[in-house]
Amino acid sequence: MEIFGEYGWFGWIVVGALAGAVAKLLMPGKDGGNIFVTVLLGIAGAALSGFLGNMLGWYSPGDGVGFLGAVVGAFVLLLIYRQVKKRQGAA
């Protein structure tokens, strides 16, 4: 099963970077990281949501809804990252 669609890893890097930027716009504030952290979280969120969405049959590679899933995945990872950083700062 091809989870990355016709553009492969490069496509998910681009989608992930855009998803990370959108997630950051939806959840502004200090993250304790820079733009590269946000982009990496976006890429990870896109890959994770793409993998899960395809495995569960919610959508197939190349579907437009995959970008929405990537934004949700990036948003969730950004939220988790903030909670971890907040907990580390309190310790």
2 is a domain residue: no
- Could you read off the pLDDT of 13-66 as tens digits, one per residue? 787 788 888 887 887 777 666 777 777 887 888 778 877 877 888 776 666 667
56 is a domain residue: yes
Domain of 19 in residue numbering reads as 7-90
Full-model pTM: 0.71
1 is a domain residue: no
- Structure letter (DSSP) for residue 29: S
Tell me the C-alpha distance between 50 and 6, whole Å: 13
Cα angle 50, 18, 21 (rounded to 5 degrees) comes to 115
The total number of structural domains that make up the chain: 1
29 is a domain residue: yes
71 close to 20: Cβ distance less than 8 angstroms: no
